Copies of this chain bind each other. A is one copy, B any other.
Amino acid sequence: MTTYTDLNTPLRTIMTPGPVEVDPRVLRAMSTPIVGQFDPAFTHIMNEVMEMLRHLFETKNKWAFPIDGTSRSGIEALLCSVIEPGDKVLVPIFGRFGHLLTEICERYGAEVHTMECRWGEVFDQEDVIKEIKRIQPKITAIVHGETSTGCMQPLDQIGKACRDQDVLLIVDAVASTGGTPVKVDEWYIDGIVAGTQKCLSVPSGMAPLTYNDRIEKVVHARKKVERGISTEEDRINEQTNNHPTIKSNYFDISMLQDYWGPRRLNHHTEATSMLYALREGLRIVIEEGLENRFTRHKYHEKALIAGLEAMGLSLFGNRECKLPTVTCVSIPNGVDPESVRRMLLQQFGIEIASSFGPLQGKIWRIGSMGYSCRKENILFVLGALEAVLIRHGVDINIGKGLQAALEVYINQPATALVTQ
Give per-residue flags for A98-141: 1 if the beta carbon is below 8 A from chain B beta carbons, else 0: 11101110011000000000000000000000000000000000
Is the pair A273, B227 in contact by a Cβ cutoff of 8 Å?
Answer: no
Q: A1-B286, A76-B249 are in contact. Are A34 and B21 (CB under 8 A)?
A: yes
> What are the interface flags for A23-35 relative to B under an 8 Å C-beta threshold, 1 for contact and 0 otherwise?
0100111111111
A14 at the interface (CB under 8 A from B): yes
Complex alpha-carbon distance, A73 and B80, angstroms: 15
User: Are A274's CB and B205's CB within 8 A?
Assistant: yes
List the number of copies, as a whole number: 2
Q: Give A286 to B78 CA distance when docked, in angstroms.
A: 39
Q: Is A96 an interface residue (CB 8 A)?
A: yes
User: Is B100 touching A204 in the complex (CB atoms < 8 A)?
Assistant: no
- CB-based contact B229/A96 at 8 Å: yes
**A103 to chain B: closest residue by CB:** B227
Contact A35 B14 (CB under 8 A): yes
Q: Is A302 an interface residue (CB 8 A)?
A: no
Q: Are B4 and A283 in contact (CB under 8 A)?
A: yes
Which one of A5-13, A152-160, A399-407 is at the B interface?
A5-13
Kindly state whether residue A69 has any CB partner on chain B within 8 Å: yes
Q: Which of A264-272, A304-312, A384-392 contacts B (4 or more CB under 8 A)?
A: A264-272
Give the residues in chain B near A18, CB-CB below 8 Å.
269
Bound-state CA distance A102–B99 (Å) is 32
Contact for A76 among B16, B203, B248, B276, CB less than 8 A: B248
A12/B39 contact (C-beta < 8 A), A102-B227, A204-B271, A229-B356 known: yes
Interface residues in A32-55 (C-beta closer than 8 Å to B): 32-37, 39, 41-42, 45, 48, 51-52, 55
**CB of A322 closer than 8 Å to a CB of B:** no
Interface pair B36/A19, CB less than 8 Å apart: yes
Chain B residue nearest in CB terms to A80: B248
Q: Is the CB of A247 within 8 A of B249?
A: no
Give 26 CB contacts A-B under 8 Å.
Answer: A1-B55, A4-B283, A7-B32, A12-B35, A18-B269, A22-B33, A27-B273, A31-B31, A35-B351, A36-B351, A37-B204, A39-B351, A68-B204, A70-B250, A70-B271, A71-B269, A72-B268, A76-B248, A97-B228, A104-B249, A107-B249, A197-B269, A247-B248, A248-B251, A250-B251, A274-B274
Q: Using a CB–CB distance below 8 Å, which chain A residues touch chain B?
A: 1-4, 7, 9-12, 14, 16, 18-19, 21-22, 24, 27-37, 39, 41-42, 45, 48, 51-52, 55, 68-73, 76, 80, 95-100, 102-104, 107-108, 148, 197, 203-205, 226-229, 245-251, 266, 268-274, 276-277, 279-280, 283, 286, 345, 351, 356-357
Q: Given A2-B51, A10-B35, 14 other A-B contacts at CB below 8 A?
A: A3-B286, A7-B32, A9-B34, A9-B41, A19-B272, A30-B31, A68-B73, A69-B73, A70-B268, A103-B249, A204-B270, A205-B272, A229-B357, A271-B274
